[in-house]
Structures are given as C-alpha cells and as structure tokens.
Structure 1
Amino acid sequence: MTIDHIDLSRVDLNLLVALDALLAERSVTRAAARIGIGQSAMSSSLARLRTLFSDELLTRAPEGMRPTPRALALAEPVRTLLRQVQALVRRDDAFDPRTVTRTFTIGLPDSAEVLIGPRLLAHLRAEAPGISLLLRSIDSIRILQELDADRVDLGIGFFTDGQTHHKQRLLYRDSYLCVFNADLLGLAPPISLDDYLRFPHVLTSLKETAHGVVDDALARLGRSRTLAVTTPRFLAVPFLVRSAPVLTTMHARLATFFAGALGLTVSPAPVDLEDVAISMLWHASYDDDPAHRWLRRTLLALVEEPTGTI
C-alpha cells in the first residue's frame, strides 16, 4: 500500500500512545499517570481520539471505563505499531546489560520462582545490576490478560492457551515424583500403588479445585485417593508433608530440591503421568525489544546449564 504522507502527517503519534494507555488502564486518571501527563491533557487526547476514529472508544460503566468494539479491535494493532516504532528508535547495539536500568515484571507460580529465581537473581546482580525484578504470582488464564494490558513482561509456567500474538518458548520439561516423610509413613521407594493410596495426599491446585492430574490418572485405573489438604502454594507443601503421615506428587525438579533441603524421601509415582512443559510466554510486541530478548536468552541459558538445580 502506498503511504499517503500528507494524510498521515495529520495524525499525532502521541494520540496512539494515549489510546494504548487508556485501553490498558480503562481510566483517564490512571492512563494520564502512566504516561506522565495531566488528567485534563489525557481527557483532551481522548476527545481527539474520538474524533479521529469517529467512535466513542471508551464509555462510562459502573466498573470504570468500558472499551467499545471499535476500541477493542484497535488495541492489538496499536500496541504492535507502538512496539515497532519503539524498536526502530532504539539501537540494538546500544543495549548493554551492564549499564541498562529497567524493571521486568514476571508472572510465575512459586514453584518456578523457587527453582529459577535464585539463579536468575544471582546472574542479574553479576551481569546486569541495573535490572530489577517484580515477581507476581499469577495463573495461566489471567497471565494472558496481564500480557495484553502490558502489566506483565513475561510469564513462566505451564500454558495451554493463547492467541497468535502470545509467543511461547519451551524452557524445560519435567516429570513427576512422589514425596513423603519416610519415618512417618514407614515406606521406602519405590512405593506400590496400594501404598500410594493407603495414605491421604496433599494437592497443590491453582484453580481452587480439589482435583488434579493424579486424580485423572487414577480414574483411568478405576481408583481414587483421599485428599487431606488442598493448597495453592507449592512452598507450603513440603512442610505439610514433613509434619504429618501424608504424601504428595509434584514436579520432579521441585520434589528433588525439597527432599534434599528438608530430609524427605522421593519415589516414582506409581501411576502414569505425562511430563509437563514449563515455558516462557510473552506478547509478540516485545519480540524485537533488545532487553526483553536478552532476558529470554538468559533464562534459556540458565535452565540449560547442567550443574544447576533446574
């Protein structure tokens, strides 16, 4: 398509910056604060945007401001365009992790934070001391909304959903192990299915439901287990297991880490469980961002090091 330079010159790029902020925050006040202008200036930008697109774009609602269908259709193209412009004006060879100052917001479960967080933090302090991390606990559904609203830079975890603008890269695959206090249960690995079902279990569930992959596997065998505790916090599980005659089934890397730290015993789970893929997830608009690319490459390098805990 031929560019109409005269027509395009009439469009203020700052209006698209304002539109992106308005769609992300759904509030004139918060959008103004996000880009560092006054509320009246943002209101003026919204009025100009409504004229430019011949649409209300955002309307008042009980929960705040609600985007119109036209605004929702514009959100993704505008975000992509702004990221492309940002990439154009930034020089890749000017990026130096030793001197850059930036905060990355990463959404991940506490299990991934335990395994990846310490090594990533140590690496950043040594190689990129100006980069800080804001770690947030987030589930696999909400992460998509947070990425689209630019409130999270990167997600780490097990992801099955996403759209074409949600990019994903495998970090590592993991199997499952059973974890228990051998002194309290009187068991030694490998444990049998009957022993596995003789004691109550601790389940970690981020979906607020007392059902997991183990229950699906047992159902295929016509069996079921008794749950003693269901919790959304992976970090609490090994302490629960250490203190009571219960057992749990968790990702193998995490199980091995906790067993070594707390004197617990691990055993292969006596049911067939598919390996889980732990991946990075990010918005496509960050593909060419030099710092973001550096962070992704760093994470890949850290998990591939054979001497690491992951």
Structure 2
Amino acid sequence: MAIDHVDLARLDLNLLVALDALLQERNVTRAAARIGIGQSAMSASLARLRRLFDDELLTRAPDGMRPTPRAIALAEPLRGVLRGVQALVHRDEHFDPATLERTFIVSLPDSLEILLGPRLIAHLRAHAPGVRLLLRSVEAVRILDELDADRVDLALGLFSRGQVHHKQRLLYRDSYVVLFNAELVGLAAPIGLEDYLRFPHVLTSLRETAHGVVDDALALIGRARVLAVTTPRFLVVPSLVRAAPLLATMHARLATSFAGALGLSTSPVPVPLDDVAVSMLWHASYDNDPAHRWLRNLLVHLAGESSAPAE
C-alpha cells in the first residue's frame, strides 16, 4: 500500500505513544506518569484517540479500565510501529557498548544463569559498565506473552517455535550425562542400565510434573526408574547428589561444571536421549536494535566459551 503522506501528516505521533501507555497501564493516571505528562493531558489524548479510531478503546470496569476488542487488536501492531520508530531514530552506526546505559530484562532458568552468568557479568563490568541486568525465571507457558507485552527483552532456554513476530537463535547444543557421588553409590563410569535403575533419581523439571525425557526413553524399552525428588531448581541438584546415593541425569555442560567444582562424577546415560537445543527468543521488533543485537551476539560468543574453564 502506498504511503499517504498528507493523511499521515495530520496524525500526531504522540497519540500513539499515549495509546501504548494506556494499553500497558490501563489507568489514565499511571499512563500519564509513564510518559511524563499530566492526567488531564492524558485524558484529552484518550478522547482524541477515541475519535481517531471511532472506538471507546478503554472502558471502565470494577478492576480498572478494560481494553475493547479493537484496542486488543491494536496493541501488538502498535508496539511494533513504535519500536520501529525508536530503532530508526536512535540507531547509531557507531554503537559503543562502553557508553551504553540500559537495563535488559532477561528470562532464563538457573542452569543457564550458572553457566553464562559469571562470564556475562564479568564482560559487562569490563566492557559495558552502564548495562544492568534484571534476571527472571523463565516460564515457558507465559514467555511469548511476556515478550509481546515488552515485560521481557530476551529469553534463554529450550523453546519451540513462536509466532511470526518472535525470533529465535541457537546458543548451543548439549547432550545428557549422569551426575553422581561415586563414594556413596559405589559405581564408576560408565554406568550400566541395571545399576542406573537400581538407585533412585533426582529429576529437575520447570514444569509441574514428575516426568522427564528419561522416563519417555525408558518407557520405550519397557522400563521405569524411581524418582526420589523432583525440583525446578538445577542449583540444588549437586547438593542432593553429594549428600545421598542418588543419580541425576542432566545437561552435560552443567553436570560437568558441578562435578569439577564438588568432586562428583559423570557417566554417559545408558539409554539413548536426543541432544537439546538451547536458544534465545526475542520479539522481532528488537531485531535491528543495536544494543539488543550486541547483547545477543555477546551471549552467543560466551555460550561458545562456556564449556571451557573460567580464566
């Protein structure tokens, strides 16, 4: 569709900024504070927006203001337009992370925080001291909504494909190994299937289920394991394995790191398991944002180094 410059010239871009704030906050006072104007000015903007779109956009409800179906349909395209304008205006061909002042909200499991966090923070303090991180736990069932609502800048983990406006990039591929305390279980690598099933297991799952990929693989050969404990936190697993005769089947990079630090042992898993793809996920509107692109490239670089000992 051709651009109608005359028609667009009549549009006040500030109205779109106001609409985005209203849809985010669903409250006139908070929306006004968000963009630094008075409440009366925001109320006037809402009135103009209602005339522009010929829709109420936000209606009063017991719990605040509720967006109309038209407003809900506008929300995502509007954020894409505003992000595009922001990237166009602020793009710096001579981008310098050393002068960047920005907070990135990153969702990731604690396993990746352990593997990548120390290197990432060390690099930022040395080369981009104005960059701050707000790290959050990743919730797979909500992450696409979090990205769409601009509550998360970047997500790291195991993801299936998102929608067309979500971008994904591989960080690395990983295999599985068994983590165990050789003294307590009296085993040495490689562990055979019968010994693998003789001891109870620790399962790490970010979902509310006591079932994992190992259980699927065992079911294919008509076998099952006994689970002693299921936890969503990878960080606690080595302490459990170190204290009790338990086995834990974990991603190899993380298990190897734990084994080296705590004097534990690893072994190949005696049932075939597919490798996993650890990826980054973000909203497409940040694709060409120089700072966002720099952070993504940095994480890919650090992920490539994560299997090496820290210097």
TM over 0.5: yes
User: Which residue identity does 1:113 align to in structure 2?
Assistant: E
SS in 2 for 1:281: strand
Q: CA deviation at 1:47?
A: 2.5
**Post-superposition offset of 1:294:** 0.8
- Answer with 97-106 or 60-69: which moved more: 60-69
Contact persistence 1:115–1:309 (CA under 8 A) = no
**Is the CA contact 1:155–1:280 (under 8 Å) kept in the aligned structure 2?**
yes
What amino acid sits opposite 2:256 in the alignment?
T
- Give the C-alpha shift of residue 106 in structure 1: 0.5
AA in 2 matched with 1:280: M
User: TM-score normalised to the size of structure 2?
Assistant: 0.94
- When structure 1 is superposed on structure 2, of 80-89 and 249-258 the one drifting more is 80-89
Contact 1:24 1:150 in 2 (8 A): no
Return the TM-score normalized by structure 1: 0.94
Structure 1's 34 and 217: CA in aligned 2 closer, same or farther, altered over 3 A? farther
Task: Indicate the residue corresponding to 2:301 in structure 1.
Answer: 301
Most deviating of 60-69 and 229-238: 60-69
Tell me which residue corresponds to 1:82: 82
Say yes or no: does 1:248 pair with 2:248.
Answer: yes
Q: CA deviation at 1:133?
A: 0.8
Provide the residue aligned with 1:199 in structure 2.
199
Structure 1: runs of 5 or more not aligned? none
The alpha carbon displacement at 1:64 in A equals 4.2
Partner of 2:144: 144
Question: 1:306 Cα shift?
Answer: 7.5
**Any stretches of 5+ residues in structure 2 without a counterpart?**
none
Secondary structure in structure 2 of the residue aligned to 1:92: coil
Aligned to 2:112: 112
Select between 264-273 and 57-66 the one with higher mean Cα deviation. 57-66
- Is the alpha carbon distance of 1:61 and 1:241 closer, same or farther for their aligned partners in structure 2, counting shifts above 3 Å? farther
Structure 1 CA distance, aligned partners of 2:65 and 2:20? 14
Distance 1:33-1:203 versus aligned 2 partners, 3 A rule: farther
Q: Does the CA contact (< 8 Å) of 2:177 and 2:249 recur in 1?
A: yes
Q: Which residue of 2 aligns with 1:275?
A: 275
Q: Aligned letter for 2:42? A: M
C-alpha distance in 2 between matches for 1:249 and 1:41: 58
The CA deviation string for residues 66-124 of structure 1, in whole angstroms up to 9 with x for no partner, is 33221222122211111111122123224211111111111100001000111111111
1:214 partner letter: V
Aligned partner of residue 135 in structure 1, secondary structure: strand
Structure 1 residues 33, 303: closer, same or farther in 2, change over 3 A? same
> Where do 1:1-310 residues align within 5 Å?
1-305=1-305, 308=308
Q: Which is further off, 42-51 or 99-108?
A: 42-51
Percent identity between the aligned chains? 75
Distance (Å, rounded) in 1 between the aligned partners of 2:194 and 2:273: 17
Residues matched between the structures, number: 310
> What is the root-mean-square deviation in Å for CA atoms of aligned residues?
1.8
Aligned to 1:155, the other structure's residue is in SS state: strand
Cα distance, 1:309 vs structure 2: 5.1
The separation in 2 between residues aligned to 1:26 and 1:309, in whole angstroms, is: 49
2:66 match: secondary structure:
strand
Q: Post-superposition shift, 1:193?
A: 1.1
Letter in 2 for 1:204: T
* Aligned-partner Cα distance in 2 for 1:58–1:222: 57
What is the rounded CA distance, in whole Å, between the counterparts of 1:79 and 1:125 in structure 2? 31
Aligned partner of residue 291 in structure 2, secondary structure: helix
Three-state SS of the structure 1 residue aligned to 2:272 is coil
How much has 1:167 moved relative to structure 2? Answer: 0.3
2:248 and 2:305 mapped to 1: Cα distance? 28
Aligned counterparts of 1:290 and 1:191: Cα–Cα separation in 2: 48
